[in-house]
């Protein structure tokens, strides 16, 4: 008798929990129906299914930048949750191909992968599924792969980084003017992920922005050899601060460096996210590639059956290059006005970031440079990219190719 009572009580408890669970589920479903947005006027996006493949998840500032762009597009176009599938933590292995194929099985007609190492797997998926459009960020193969449904995309983020450099330069000038540092001590630090063109192009444009304001500025770069490592990025930032850097910027995907800067009270320039929430007293400004315009373009092209460029480069004009949060608390006076002025020059085409008259390499002006544009596995530098007085970044392909260390910059 005792046993039966025991069993009965267990069964009752189970039923109760399941009942509660079911209730929870129901309210959620109702919520979903209510929150659905009306379809944007003029176009029916109900046939679109967007698949996003991310190397990490939203804890990585890099991946979070893609995820938030997809969510923005979803909201703008009124796509339902079923129409946007996000696969996170997909490594740069066969798992990427599997993820892409599974997205195709689910009916996705546009699939985007966000990490450099995903490229060869996405290319393979594109060859096997010619009816589905595939795009990939930071990749280098699309312009000579000859696969019409495979695309590379990037943005002229060097312009964004130059702008953040200008803000950092103004801050440096403020420090010099107030006597906090001398002009010779105007040294900025940069935490880079890898000794790789995308990183080099980024820090060079940042540095050129700084030097457009403070001519005596120098820069020290430390590599972490990892795209995402909170501890290493923190250590690197602390090393740079110890070495006398008075402003830090970074191209690595965690919040390790901004947090280290907040601890030490050193102004920080971020990438991809607004770090004001984690570093309210030191976050100066941040630049970001906004992927929403490219995603919207691709979705529209898929809908209309139009082709997408093999290599697409977003600009300030397309809304792809953005500045986030000029922090009034940290920035020097008049920063916003100066940024607006420089931005207008970019839009008018009168200012080039990699103007060869503004920098030297080994003491000499860069008159000619062969860059490694074609990705044929030989790593040969074959394409002339300097003409009309400037280095043509992201012109012959979307991914950056500026891989030179210019004078004034030292790599640790």
Partner 1 sequence: MNNPKEKIHEPLFHIVKRSKDALPLWKSWLIRAIAIVFSLLVCSVIIVLLTNQNPLEVFGALLKGSFGSERKFWNMLQNLAMLLCISLAITPAFKMKFWNLGAEGQVLIGSLCSMVLMFTVGDKIPNLVLILAMLAASILGGIIWGLIPAVFKAKWNTNESLFTLMMNYIAIQLVSFAIMVWVPSGSSVMGLVNSSTKAGWIPDIFGQKYLFNIIVVAALTVFMFVYLKSSKHGYEISVVGESENTAKYIGINVKKVIIRTMILSGAICGLAGFLLVAGTNHTISKDLAGGNGFTAIMVSWLAKFNPFVMVITSFLIAFLQRGAGEIATNFNLNTSIADILTGIIIFFIIGSEFFINYQIKTKAKKEDK
Interface ranges with partner 1 (CB under 8 A): 14, 17-18, 20-22, 24-29, 57-59, 81, 85-89, 91-94, 98, 101-102, 105, 116-117, 119-121, 124, 194-198, 225, 372, 379, 403
**For residues 84 and 79, what is the distance between their CA atoms, to the nearest angstrom?**
7
Nearer to partner 1, 14 or 231 (CB): 14
Nearer to partner 1, 114 or 119 (CB): 119
**Minimum distance from residue 181 beta carbon to partner 1 (Å):** 32
**Minimum distance from residue 75 beta carbon to partner 1 (Å):** 13
408's tokens: 């004034």
**Minimum distance from residue 176 beta carbon to partner 1 (Å):** 34
Scan for tokens 């004078």, then name that residue.
Answer: 407
Nearer to partner 1, 32 or 384 (CB): 32
What are the residues whose beta carbons fall under 8 Å from the beta carbon of 37, sequence distance 6 or more?
A: 75, 78
Nearest CA among 285, 231, 226 for reference residue 255: 231
Nearer to partner 1, 35 or 350 (CB): 35
**Minimum distance from residue 32 beta carbon to partner 1 (Å):** 10
Nearer to partner 1, 105 or 367 (CB): 105
**For residues 222 and 239, what is the distance between their CA atoms, to the nearest angstrom?**
9
36's tokens: 């659905």
**Minimum distance from residue 138 beta carbon to partner 1 (Å):** 9
392's tokens: 């043509």
Nearer to partner 1, 220 or 372 (CB): 372
**Minimum distance from residue 102 beta carbon to partner 1 (Å):** 6
- Judge contact between 320 and 291, C-beta under 8 A: yes
Radius of gyration, CA atoms only, the chain: 24
DSSP H or E segment with residue 164 = helix 157-177
219's tokens: 């820069």
**For residues 406 and 108, what is the distance between their CA atoms, to the nearest angstrom?**
44
């Amino acid at each position: 008798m005792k046993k039966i009572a025991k069993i009965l009580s267990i069964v009752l408890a189970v039923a109760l929990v399941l009942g509660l669970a079911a209730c929870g589920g129901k309210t959620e479903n109702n919520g979903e129906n209510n929150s659905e947005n009306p379809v944007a006027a003029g176009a029916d996006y109900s046939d679109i299914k967007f698949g996003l493949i991310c190397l990490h998840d939203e804890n990585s500032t890099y991946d979070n930048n893609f995820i938030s762009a997809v969510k923005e597009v979803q909201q703008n176009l009124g796509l339902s949750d079923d129409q946007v599938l996000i696969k996170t933590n997909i490594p740069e292995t066969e798992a990427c191909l599997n993820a892409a194929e599974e997205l195709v099985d689910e009916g996705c007609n546009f699939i985007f992968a966000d990490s450099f190492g995903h490229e060869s797997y996405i290319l393979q998926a594109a060859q096997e599924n010619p009816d589905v459009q595939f795009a990939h960020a930071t990749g280098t193969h699309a312009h000579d792969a000859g696969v019409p449904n495979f695309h590379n995309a990037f943005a002229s983020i060097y312009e964004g980084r130059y702008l953040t450099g200008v803000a950092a330069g103004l801050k440096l000038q403020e420090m010099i003017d107030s006597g906090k540092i001398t002009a010779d001590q105007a040294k900025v630090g940069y935490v880079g992920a890898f000794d790789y063109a995308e990183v080099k192009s980024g820090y060079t444009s940042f540095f050129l922005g700084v030097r457009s304001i403070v001519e005596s500025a120098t820069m020290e770069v430390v590599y972490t050899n990892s795209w995402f490592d909170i501890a290493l990025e923190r250590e690197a930032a602390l090393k740079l601060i110890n070495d006398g850097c008075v402003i830090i910027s970074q191209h690595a995907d965690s919040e390790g460096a901004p947090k280290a800067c907040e601890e030490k009270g050193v102004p920080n320039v971020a990438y991809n996210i607004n770090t004001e929430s984690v570093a309210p007293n030191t976050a100066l400004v941040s630049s970001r590639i906004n992927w929403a315009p490219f995603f919207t373009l691709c979705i529209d092209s898929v809908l209309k059956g139009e082709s997408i460029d093999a290599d697409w480069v977003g600009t300030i004009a397309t809304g792809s290059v953005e500045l986030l949060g000029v922090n009034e608390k940290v920035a020097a006076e008049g920063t916003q006005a100066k940024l607006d002025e420089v931005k207008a020059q970019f839009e008018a085409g009168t200012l080039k970031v990699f103007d060869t008259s503004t920098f030297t390499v080994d003491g000499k002006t860069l008159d000619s440079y062969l860059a490694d544009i074609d990705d044929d596995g030989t790593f040969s530098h074959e394409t002339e990219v300097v003409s009309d007085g400037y280095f043509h970044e992201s012109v012959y392909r979307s991914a950056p190719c500026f891989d030179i260390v210019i004078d004034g910059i030292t790599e640790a």
